[in-house]
Amino acid sequence: MAVTLDSLSVPATTAAPALTLRTWRTRDVPVIVLAHADPLVRSRSPQPLTDETAVHVWFQLLDEGWAAGTLYVLAIVEGDEPDADALGLIAVSRPTPEDEVGDVTYWTVAERRGRAFAPRALESVVDWIRSERWTDAPLHRLQLAHSGDNDAACRVAEKAGFALERELAAKPPKYPESGHVHARKL
Ligand SMILES: CC(C)(COP(=O)(O)OP(=O)(O)OC[C@H]1O[C@@H](n2cnc3c(N)ncnc32)[C@H](O)[C@@H]1OP(=O)(O)O)[C@@H](O)C(=O)NCCC(=O)NCCS
């Protein structure tokens, strides 16, 4: 059964604003193109979304992946109003709908970094996957990989409870740097 989701809410704390996670909308196209102008985002994405046409093709992939139970990609917005502008992304994927191990990726737009939006959003996605609102095809483990020089991605993983599990050797030319695999049992 496909998962249905309107939005996920991350409550405000005394130090940080509320966040909302929601599915993507046509109005988000410019922010996705802007995010992919950043080489840090582009180099870590399966497909470069550097123009509007590419984003619309990607939206189609998201719909297909969501319906198939293999790809769940949410926009992060600040506040509790889902119509607010997207400032980041959290994606969970698995090779087949039956796989119990999923992969996570994330980005935030450059000018909104350093405010713990990504780790708080990631924790909320973990809670969602563990909840009764998730599909009847459970995920029992989430993992994420990042290049060894990506300290910010490493910190997000640690802050969201994804322990460093193993190191990955460099595989040039595609992966010139060694890497880390972090994982969290669900
Ligand atoms: C990784 C990323 C998503 C972190 O998002 P975020 O919302 O800034 O997360 P945080 O605020 O928790 O910051 C994480 C770390 O980034 C670093 N950081 C802080 N401010 C920063 C800024 N203005 N710019 C860049 N990095 C910053 C700090 O090391 C911080 O760790 P700390 O809180 O222990 O000091 C974001 O840097 C990003 O989009 N990077 C490019 C894409 C990417 O590498 N994705 C990961 C693929 S797995």
**Residue 45 confidence (pLDDT):** 87
Per the domain annotation, does 103 fall within a domain? Answer: yes
Q: CATH number for the domain including 66?
A: 3.40.630.30
Per the domain annotation, does 149 fall within a domain? Answer: no
| Residue 160 alpha carbon to ligand 1 centre in Å | 13
| CB distance 43 to ligand 1 below 6 Å | no
Per the domain annotation, does 144 fall within a domain? Answer: no
| Residue 15 alpha carbon to ligand 1 centre in Å | 17
| Residue 66 alpha carbon to ligand 1 centre in Å | 27
| CB distance 115 to ligand 1 below 6 Å | yes
| CB distance 40 to ligand 1 below 6 Å | yes
Q: What percent of the chain has pLDDT over 70?
A: 99
> Which token pair is 26?
């046509």
Q: What average pLDDT does range 125-148 have in this prediction? A: 93
Per the domain annotation, does 182 fall within a domain? Answer: no
Phi first, then psi: give them for residue 141, nearest 5 degrees. -160, 140
| Position 73 confidence tier, pLDDT thresholds 50, 70, 90 | very high
- Between the CA of residue 139 and those of 22, 135, 144, 146, 184, what are the distances in Å? 20, 9, 14, 21, 11
Per the domain annotation, does 176 fall within a domain? Answer: no
Helix (H, G, I), strand (E, B) or coil at 113: coil
Helix, strand, coil in percent for the chain, rounding step 5:
30, 30, 40
Identify the domain containing residue 60 by its residue range. Answer: 7-133
Per-residue pLDDT at 173 exceeds 90? no
Q: Are strands 141-147 and 101-108 parallel, antiparallel or unpaired?
A: parallel
How high is the mean pLDDT of the chain?
95
Among the residue ranges 17-31, 35-49, 90-104, 113-127, the one predicted with the least confidence is 35-49
**Residue 3 confidence (pLDDT):** 83
Domains in the chain: how many in total?
1
- Between the CA of residue 153 and those of 17, 38, 93, 158, what are the distances in Å? 21, 15, 18, 9
**Residue 148 confidence (pLDDT):** 92
| Position 4 confidence tier, pLDDT thresholds 50, 70, 90 | confident
| Position 95 confidence tier, pLDDT thresholds 50, 70, 90 | very high
Q: What average pLDDT does range 1-6 have in this prediction? A: 80
> What pTM value is reported for the model?
0.96
Per-residue pLDDT at 1 exceeds 70? no
Place of tokens 């994420």: 144
Q: What percent of the chain has pLDDT over 90?
A: 87
Atom of ligand 1 nearest to the CA of 151: 29
Q: What average pLDDT does range 57-74 have in this prediction? A: 96
| CB distance 37 to ligand 1 below 6 Å | no
For residue 53, the surrounding DSSP H or E stretch is helix 52-68
- Between the CA of residue 162 and those of 103, 104, 151, 153, 158, what are the distances in Å? 12, 11, 14, 11, 5
Per the domain annotation, does 98 fall within a domain? Answer: yes
**Residue 46 confidence (pLDDT):** 85
Among the residue ranges 33-47, 56-70, 87-101, the one predicted with the least confidence is 33-47
**Residue 2 confidence (pLDDT):** 74
Per the domain annotation, does 171 fall within a domain? Answer: no
Per the domain annotation, does 161 fall within a domain? Answer: no
Helix (H, G, I), strand (E, B) or coil at 177: coil
Terminal Cα distance for the chain, rounded: 20
Measured CA to CA, the distance from residue 182 to residue 126 in angstroms comes to 14
